[in-house]
Amino acid sequence: MNTFLKQFQKSLNNVFTNSLISSHIREILSQPTNEIIFNFPVKLSDNSVKIFKGYRIQHNNILGPYKGGLRFHQDVNLDEVKALASLMTIKCALQDIPFGGAKGGIQLNPHEYNKYDLELITRGYTRAINNYIGGDYDIPAPDVGTNAEIMDWILDEYNLINNKDEKSVITGKSPECGGSLGRKEATGRGLGVILNEVVKDLDNVTIKLEGFGNVGYHIVDYLNTLDKNFMINTISDHTGYYKIDYDDLELYKLNNFISYLLQYQRDHGSLKNIEKFSFKISKIDKEEYLKTYSDVFIPAALELSIKENEANILNVKNILEGANGPLSDSAEKMLLSRDINIYPDILCNSGGVLVSYYEWVQNNTNQIWTKEDVNRRLDKQMLDCYHKITKSKNNKYRNECYKYSIEKINEIYQKRKSYLFRL
């Protein structure tokens, strides 16, 4: 079992220690209901035929249809997808939305393929999972390495095969194909809304950001619309670690470094060489990146980026997890013992699945909500969820989130009694 999956099991077990919840529920949630793995052939544009390994893990659907993203990444593997699917069950229950948890993916590096081949691979994957998805059964969405364009191809292939017009089979589509306005920005915006609440007593807020992709970009983009002074003083992506001199706040604001970062990312797709274009930005090593003080650290790249070595020198007051599972278990213990507040992934990055739910509702009722309407609902639901979890005096927020979700799932199993008959 890989570390990420072990961590999920641990978080699950923590809730059952000294709890009256039936141990049947722990048994049910400790394994996914369905593990679908397939090797599918694709004829690529150079006429070669390649076999790809695809996954779809359906963890639990007592709350509603399975729901979860699709990841295209070279490290995708069974345990990782199982852990991510399990987190989705807890996340949907936490946000009180009527979905269960799932996750899927293809083991491939999307940067190694041209767009035409990526479309062929995506359509091949869709044909392989065709019998296992559907708007009232399992609804995929974007994750690392996938985007609205890929969701549009899945929508198209699924409806061609089945001779249907079922938009709700997938979320995170482009608005032209039935996607919700505000979906692309939702995960980042949702985290930004919580962040703004966490630091409401501070005038100026320094931020250390890890990862500047879909989630990271939209966090920064949202913070840039607020009146408060948010200053990114350290930032990293796969090209390295960077520091922005913010000693002179007036100069920082005057130069609007945040807008500059956003523009650079839009133009170049990464932060590569940014230090060559501004004398206030320098490339630094990982140690300096971690040791530079920031009020808030936002990991928004991949899982397990902060282990003991990193936690030992990480100089921050608050951590808001944009990525799924960025902290190892021992790193989390070290950070909590130093009184660092940790706001977990299932809370902070749940804006994406919330707006996916809004998209599914719009598709099923033939409505199109305005962006203002979507954002208003998202902001309120994120804040309500934040307050329901942090009202407890206990600052172990991850445990509070798991407890809320598992108690809710338990209640439904007890009322329906289905676990006695389904197993």
191 makes contact with ligand NAD (CB under 6 A): no
Residue (26 or 175) nearer to ligand NAD, CB:
175
- 337, 308, 314, 329: which is closest to 210 by C-alpha? 314
- Among 352, 360, 382, 390, interactor with ligand NAD by CB under 6 A: 352
Q: According to DSSP H, which parts of 273-370 are helical?
A: 286-291, 308-313, 329-337, 345-348, 351-365
Q: Is the distance from CB of 376 to CB of 186 less than 8 angstroms? A: no
Enclosing H/E stretch for 168? none
> Applying CB under 6 A, which of residues 68, 105, 322, 344 lies at the interface with ligand NAD?
322
* Residue 211 contacts ligand NAD per CB under 6 A: yes
d(CA 343, CA 194): 9
| Footprint (CB under 6 A) of ligand NAD, residues 71-100 | none
In the chain, the amino acid numbered 142 is P
The residue type at 157: E
User: Which of 250, 291, 242, 293 lies closest to 268, judged by CA?
Assistant: 242
Which among 43-51, 112-120, 299-307, 392-400 is the span making contact with ligand NAD, rule CB under 6 A?
299-307
- Please pick, among 103, 184, 243, 403, the residue that the annotation labels catalytic: 103
Residue with Cβ nearer ligand NAD (14 or 147) = 147
Alpha carbon distance, N-terminus to C-terminus of the chain: 23
29, 323, 335, 378: residue in contact with ligand NAD (rule CB under 6 A) = 323
In the shown chain, the binding pattern of residues 215 to 234 toward ligand NAD, with x for contact by CB under 6 A and - for none, equals xx------------------
Cβ-based nearer residue to ligand NAD, 241 or 257: 241
Q: Name residues whose C-beta falls within 8 Å of residue 384's C-beta, 6 or more positions apart in sequence.
A: none
Cβ atoms of residues 280 and 245 within 8 Å:
yes
Those residues with Cβ within 8 angstroms of residue 33's Cβ, 6 or more apart along the chain or in another chain? 58, 59, 60, 61
Among 324, 363, 375, 410, binds ligand NAD (CB under 6 A): 324
Tell me whether residue 321 or residue 413 sits nearer to ligand NAD (CB atom).
Answer: 321
Query: Residue from 298, 302, 306, 316 that binds ligand NAD (CB under 6 A)?
Result: 302
CB 53 within 8 A of CB 39: yes
Nearer to ligand NAD, 119 or 185 (CB): 185
Instruction: Let me know: does 191 contact 223? Beta carbons within 8 Å.
Output: no
- Report whether 67 contacts 100 (CB < 8 A): yes
C-alpha distance from residue 301 to each of 115, 139, 144, 289, 421 (Å):
23, 24, 9, 15, 41
142 contributes a contact to ligand NAD by CB under 6 A = yes
User: Per CB under 6 A, does 187 bind ligand NAD?
Assistant: yes
Choosing from 206, 349, 363, 381, the residue that interacts with ligand NAD (CB under 6 A) is 349
Q: How far apart are CA 135 and CA 148, in angstroms?
A: 17
Segment contacting ligand NAD by CB under 6 A, of 16-24, 141-149, 154-162, 374-382: 141-149
Sole binder of ligand NAD in the list 76, 213, 261, 319 (CB under 6 A): 213
Site residue total, ligand NAD (CB under 6 A): 24
User: Residue 417 — left, alpha, or beta (φ > 0 → left; ψ -120 to 50 → alpha)?
Assistant: left
- Decide: is 143 part of the binding site for ligand NAD (CB under 6 A): yes
358 binds ligand NAD, rule: CB under 6 A = no
Site residues for ligand NAD, 226-285, by CB under 6 A, read 236-238, 270
Q: Which is nearer to ligand NAD, 145 or 178 (CB)?
A: 145
Let me know how long the chain is: 423
Q: Which is nearer to ligand NAD, 272 or 416 (CB)?
A: 272
Contact 262, 220 (CB under 8 A): yes
395/45 Cα distance (integer angstroms): 53
State the nearest-atom distance from the C-beta of 418 to ligand NAD, in Å.
29
Considering the rule CB under 6 A, would residue 300 count as an interface residue with ligand NAD? Answer: yes
Q: Determine the residue with CB nearest ligand NAD.
A: 213
Question: Is position 103 annotated as part of the catalytic site?
Answer: yes
Among candidate residues 376, 362, 350, 372, the one with its CA nearest the CA of residue 175: 362
Q: From the list 210, 310, 359, 400, which residue makes contact with ligand NAD (rule: CB under 6 A)?
A: 210
User: What residue ranges bind ligand NAD (CB under 6 A)?
Assistant: 142-145, 187, 210-216, 236-238, 270, 300-302, 322-324, 349, 352
Which residues are identified as catalytic? 103
